[in-house]
Amino acid sequence: MKISNFVKASLSGLKALNWKSSREIRSHKEGEIALSDSEDKFRLVFESANVGKSITLPTGEISVNQALCDMLGYTREELINKKWQDLTPHQEIEDIQRLLDPLLRGDKDTARFMKRYIHKNGSLIWADVSTAIHRNREGKPLFFITTLIDITERRNAEEEVRLAHERLRRFIDSNIIGVIIAGPDGKIVEANDYYLSMIGFTRKECEQNMINWRAITPSEWLPADENALRELKDKGACTPYEKEYERRDGTRISVFLTDTMLPGPDEQIAAFALDITERKEAEDKIRRLNEALEQRIDERTAELRKTIAQLEETNQVFVGRELKMMELKARIAELEKKA
């Protein structure tokens, strides 16, 4: 090959090499620019989020946004020097670590759970936590990206509801009084043991919806229930009243009832029932004793009146005799004077 041709070929190859190198350099710079743009976008989303955001290393060190600082009451400088374990109640660290272990092992990439954080002022903050782990090409964990939503108010409200339900449940299960939830059609939805024992049914029968308060109410007492239902619709509660139930064995019990209408579309009724059978029996016994006593009094009064009448009659006889004796004495005295 001639030198001129070799030079031309060499120059051509060098130009091609320079063009390839230039393209790689340009591609690399474009990649850097794209990566920088991506980082800027991520940083913007990270910082401007209105929920807590953190980037946590597997060892526990964290980077946080301002929303998380505001949530926990710390400055950014204070938080970045803390591990998540420092912000977690000591007795709960082990449980949270167990939730994170599958991510560290590579069994899963995301997790969601609720946990408590220690606020700077010492109070506890509930958070809904969503975390995702990022790995390198070899699968080694690099960092966690975590989102935290403050749910303290919701949890406090749930706790208040739970406590209210627990208090109500404790009252119902104490069996101080019969408690039922029922419909106006008579179907009993729930009843405590006091009520079931009172009417002679079992818990299983209640759970199988086999109890109907209308069916165990004697017909002569149903009008009292209807009056109570009308009052419930008008006022939401009814005036306490008495009625009877007929037990399975045919015996009757007397109860003292008060009802209130529960909120909701089902128009369910909460009723409190007190067994007053013994009181009614005692009242009936006292009534019978009073009737017997009144009868005895009437009888004794009649006897006394008869005795008084007899005494008056006897007294009148004696008085009549005395008057006659006085008249006789006066007559004798008059005759003696004339003699």
Please give the Cα distance from 199 to 67 (Å, whole number): 60
pLDDT band at 231 (very low <50, low <70, confident <90, very high): very high
Q: What is the pLDDT of residue 81?
A: 83
The sign of the dihedral angle between the CA atoms of 302, 308, 309, 310 is positive
CA 116 to chain centre: 23
Proportion of the chain above pLDDT 70, given as a percent: 86
Task: Indicate the helix (H) or strand (E) that contains 284.
Answer: helix 277-338
Tokens, residue 149: 């939503």
Task: Indicate the helix (H) or strand (E) that contains 147.
Answer: strand 141-150
Give whichever of 31-35, 164-168, 219-223, 278-282 has the largest mean pLDDT. 219-223
Averaged pLDDT, 216-222: 95
Q: How far is CA 71 from CA 109, 145, 147, 159, 324, in A?
A: 26, 17, 12, 20, 122
Tell me which residue of 67, 104, 62 sits closest to 87, measured CA to CA. 62
Q: What is the pLDDT of residue 329?
A: 77
Q: What is the pLDDT of residue 178?
A: 93
Q: What is the pLDDT of residue 9?
A: 46
Q: Answer yes or no: same fold for 3-156 and 174-275.
A: yes
Please give the Cα distance from 116 to 151 (Å, whole number): 10
Q: What is the pLDDT of residue 113?
A: 95
CATH class for domain 174-275? alpha beta
Averaged pLDDT, 206-220: 93
How confident is the model over 48-100, as pLDDT tens digits?
678 998 888 877 677 889 999 999 999 988 988 888 899 999 999 999 999 99
40 vs 83, which has greater pLDDT? 83
Position 36 pLDDT exceeds 90? no
Please give the Cα distance from 131 to 148 (Å, whole number): 9
Tokens, residue 189: 């939805």
Q: What is the pLDDT of residue 197?
A: 93
- Give the domain ranges of the chain: 3-156, 174-275
Please give the Cα distance from 112 to 90 (Å, whole number): 20
How confident is the model over 240-259, as pLDDT tens digits?
999 999 998 899 999 999 99
Averaged pLDDT, 31-55: 66
Position 11 pLDDT exceeds 70? no
Specify the pTM. 0.57
Please give the Cα distance from 184 to 232 (Å, whole number): 10
Please give the Cα distance from 51 to 147 (Å, whole number): 7
CATH code reported for the domain at 3-156: 3.30.450.20
Please give the Cα distance from 73 to 247 (Å, whole number): 64
Q: Are 52 and 150 in contact (CB under 8 A)?
A: yes
Q: What is the DSSP string of 10-44?
A: HHHHHHHHHHHHHHHHHHHHHHHHHHHHHHHHHHH
